Amino acid sequence: MRQDFDGSYQVKPSDIDVYAAPKNSDASPRALYVHVPFCLHRCGYCDFTLVADRDDLVPAYLQALTNELDRLDGDYEVDTIFIGGGTPTHLSTDQLERLAEILFSRFTLNSGGEFSVEANPDGLSDDVMKTLSGIGVNRLSLGVQSFDAAVLKTLERQHTPAVAHEVVHRAIDAFDVVSLDLIFGVPGQTLDAWNATLAVAQQLPIRHVSTYGLTFEKGTDFYRRRQQGQINSTPDDLERDMYAAAISQFGHSGVPQYEISNFAQPGSECRHNMVYWQADEYFAFGPGAARYVNGVRSTNARNVSRWINCWLKGEVALQDMEQLSADAKIREAIFLGLRLVAGIDINGFLNRFGCDVGEIARDSAERHLEDGLLEVADSHLRLTSAGRFMADTVMADFL
């Protein structure tokens, strides 16, 4: 076990049982994440934990997931379930039903709970939607990414704008909330093209949108192609204009920004992701899944085959684990809380952590209050509109 500079402990996977019952049963995590690591094709920019075109592994994955959940000490009720990927809807309807059986063998979703599943428009049939509704899914997060054919081609997505459009309309009939994922800063994408995608999204009766600037992650095909000069990053000022356009246009159409990358009609914010931003604890299962239980953050093995093979033998498959010190918990809560447009409730923070949010990293807080990137309003510490464009820099000062 090694003590970090801030008092947190990087621990060996054998040091702590991350599947042990939460120490305080009254405060067990109220959120569950499950990772489904299957896609038809790996898009050139994607570095998520997944395998492409390996449907032969699905039965072993479902058995491994069963074994991982069996390792959990106790049964739990949660308020949110989020099945992410990969492409969860790449599973067949039978496999989706089996996945639900596995989850509901240990977890119960509170009545009125939020049950989200990520999906791609490609191949999202009525049968799949019916199956999802049947297992209780009430929120669909659709990886539309763009309504521009050229951008979708660059991103190596399998669907067309017309398919995305048609699927969104069917999904709206089937689920309480439909969310769209959109990407900007794609090589070759112009501001006009991004504005056109935003305009299409605004015309749709959707209640939630997530927008992400494209990043070039090491190990991806896009990263290699940029190194070789085949594609270029989007200039910073253009990316900034694209982000500003999303904030402005969704704000005007009644889907205001509530987090750095997220927009929602009031009341349709993603409750599951709010758990992350509020630095609350959550369960997680599946390859590469990250959990936060009993003050310990741990991540499962990211190699899908390794995770499956370990769990088929009943062996825990972790990548890393960190026991957070009291100081690290406080700093994380600030770092994550500043992602929210509403910011951090100053009194709530004091009650929870017993310290004044303004006193933590006092120099940084004062500097950014002075330079106009932070503000105190309505008893909250938050990024200003200008601060949201410098969020990474400001938030990093609190870690």
Binding site for ligand SF4 (CB under 6 A): 39, 42-43, 46, 48, 50, 85-87, 120, 143
Tell me the C-alpha distance between 155 and 373, whole Å.
33
The helices-and-strands tally (H runs, E runs) of the chain is 15, 19
Measured from the CB of residue 42, what is the shortest distance to ligand SF4 in angstroms? 5
Measured from the CB of residue 295, what is the shortest distance to ligand SF4 in angstroms? 30
Query: Pairing mode, if any, of strands 296-300 and 318-323?
Result: antiparallel
> Token pair for residue 10?
């990087």
What is the residue-wise DSSP string for 327-390?
Answer: HHHHHHHHHHHTTBTT-EEHHHHHHHHSS-GGGTTHHHHHHHHHTTSEEEETTEEEE-HHHHTT
Measured from the CB of residue 285, what is the shortest distance to ligand SF4 in angstroms? 18
Q: Are 232 and 186 in contact (CB under 8 A)?
A: no
Toward ligand SF4, which CB reaches closer, 125 or 248?
A: 125
Measured from the CB of residue 45, what is the shortest distance to ligand SF4 in angstroms? 7
Query: Pairing mode, if any, of strands 139-145 and 257-259?
Result: unpaired
Toward ligand SF4, which CB reaches closer, 152 or 395?
A: 152
Residue in the shown chain whose Cβ atom is closest to ligand SF4:
46
Toward ligand SF4, which CB reaches closer, 155 or 177?
A: 155
Measured from the CB of residue 315, what is the shortest distance to ligand SF4 in angstroms? 26
Q: Which residue from 254, 247, 246 is spatially nearest to 341, judged by alpha carbons? A: 247
Measured from the CB of residue 387, what is the shortest distance to ligand SF4 in angstroms? 29
Compute how many other C-beta atoms are within 10 angstroms of the C-beta atom of residue 173: 9
> Token pair for residue 339?
């992602």
Toward ligand SF4, which CB reaches closer, 42 or 225?
A: 42
Q: Which residue from 106, 129, 131, 116 is spatially nearest to 28, judged by alpha carbons? A: 106
Toward ligand SF4, which CB reaches closer, 39 or 164?
A: 39
Toward ligand SF4, which CB reaches closer, 45 or 277?
A: 45
Helix axes 191-203 and 236-252, enclosed angle (nearest 10)? 20
Measured from the CB of residue 52, what is the shortest distance to ligand SF4 in angstroms? 7
Toward ligand SF4, which CB reaches closer, 87 or 154?
A: 87
Tell me the C-alpha distance between 108 and 204, whole Å.
33
Toward ligand SF4, which CB reaches closer, 30 or 157?
A: 157
Compute how many other C-beta atoms are within 10 angstroms of the C-beta atom of residue 36: 28
Measured from the CB of residue 188, what is the shortest distance to ligand SF4 in angstroms? 18
Burial class (CB in 10 A: 0-12, 13-18, 19+), 278: middle
